[in-house]
Each structure stands twice: as C-alpha cells, then as structure tokens.
Amino acid sequence: MKVAIVGGHGQIALRLTQLLHAHQHEVVGLIRNPDHQGDVRAHGGEPWVVDLERSHTGEVAMGLSGADAIVFAAGAGPGSGAARKITMDRDGAVLTADAARLAGIKRLVIVSSINADRHDGESDDVFQVYLRAKAEADDEIRARADLEYTIVRPGSLTNDAGTGHVTVGQGLDASPVTRDDVALVLREALEQRAAIRMQFDLVNGDTPVGEAVASL
C-alpha cells in the first residue's frame, strides 16, 4: 500500500512513517519546509515539498498521486495564532479532501482532536478556535459521500513511550494518549479498514490497539 501523509514532518506523522515502512508500505510525506526532507527519509518515507497554505488543489494532488490512502496529520502547531488554526487545521484538511478527489483517492484518515464538537463558537481563545477548526473540518469530511474517511480524535498527546493499549469510543474524557499509540492506531486503521466512515475518540486504555480498531 502507498500512503501519503500530509504534514509529514509532524511528530505523529514521522512515527507513522516508520511504522508503515516497517510493514513494507510505501510512504510519501508532504512537508512545507524543504529542510525537513532528510528527516522524512530517515524514517522511511519519500518527501514531497508543498505548502498547503500557498498551494492550489492541483499542486497538492500531485503529491498525493498514486497513493492508496491519505493521512491528514498537519496542523498549525503550538505557538501559532488563531488565524492559522483556520487556514491550516480546517482549510488544509478541506484542501486535502479536494486534492484527494482530484487524484482519485477515496481513503482518507484525519487526525482531529477530542472535544472538537464542544468548542465555544463565540470565543476568540486560540484553543477554542483550534477546536472549532477541527470540528468544521470534520463536518466537511463527513459530508463527502465519495470519501472512505476515518476521523481519529486523540486526547491530550504525550511523548511517553507507547503502551500498545488504548480505549476508543464516543464522548470520552480528554485523557492522555501517547503519540506512539496514536501512530499505531492510524496504521491499524489503514491496514484493517475496520473504521471506514467512522469517527472516534482515542485515549490510552486497556485494549490492545489491534483489537480496539477491529471492534469499531
């Protein structure tokens, strides 16, 4: 399987690249900064440089060309302002979905956020705008009948060593989950295809990752 990861230099993305490469999958990492190409290659992926905030659909589609599945793991990141939460976390996801359609790719896995639907739509607080951006992107993805989507909504992310055990479901409390375990869940979702047209919260728990994904 060939997987294109949008936001390919992110912490979860690089972990996922390494996991997919270890399972003999081909990975293309779409990145904004050319200086990050070496990191993508070091984890087993092939970089493709494209800036989602300055590119049109056709340019992004070129980076996705030939992929069997796409993972959207991009984000404005810590320290960015509210405006970039909209242009990257929301508009970047929508642009990726548009590019997927242009490239003829149906399978799309989105890394969203737990509690996205509980945002305060009247607030200018950066975190609330982030949650709103994620929620609006997820709404757009779910509305596309042509997509075989999976929307993964992790809890608070940590860099602790992965446990290999998680809890998945709806309306979970915003408990921690390791980035290692999020990457494992994404790989399982791609390989099992058990979570197509599903959205779920994800935190660390007691169920082995493979069983948790298979139960969806």
Under 8 Å between Cβ of 182 and 111? yes
Burial 146-161 (b: 16+ CB within 10 A, else e): ebebbbbbbbebeeee
Q: How many Å apart are CA 140 and CA 94, to the nearest integer? A: 7
- As given in the structure block, the two tokens for residue 6 are 């949008």
- Active-site choice (48, 72, 130, 200): 130
Is 149 a residue of the active site?
no
- Bridge partners for 208 per DSSP: 165
DSSP states of 49-69 as a string? E--GGG--HHHHHHHHTT-SE
Please tell me the distance from the alpha carbon of residue 65 to that of residue 73, in angstroms, as a whole number. Answer: 18
Q: What is the DSSP letter of 10?
A: S
* DSSP sequence for 198-216: EEEEEEE-SEEHHHHHHT-
Give dist(CA 129, CA 120) in Å, integer. 8
Helix (H) or strand (E) holding 164: none
Query: What's the N-to-C CA distance of the chain in angstroms?
Result: 22
Active site residues: 130
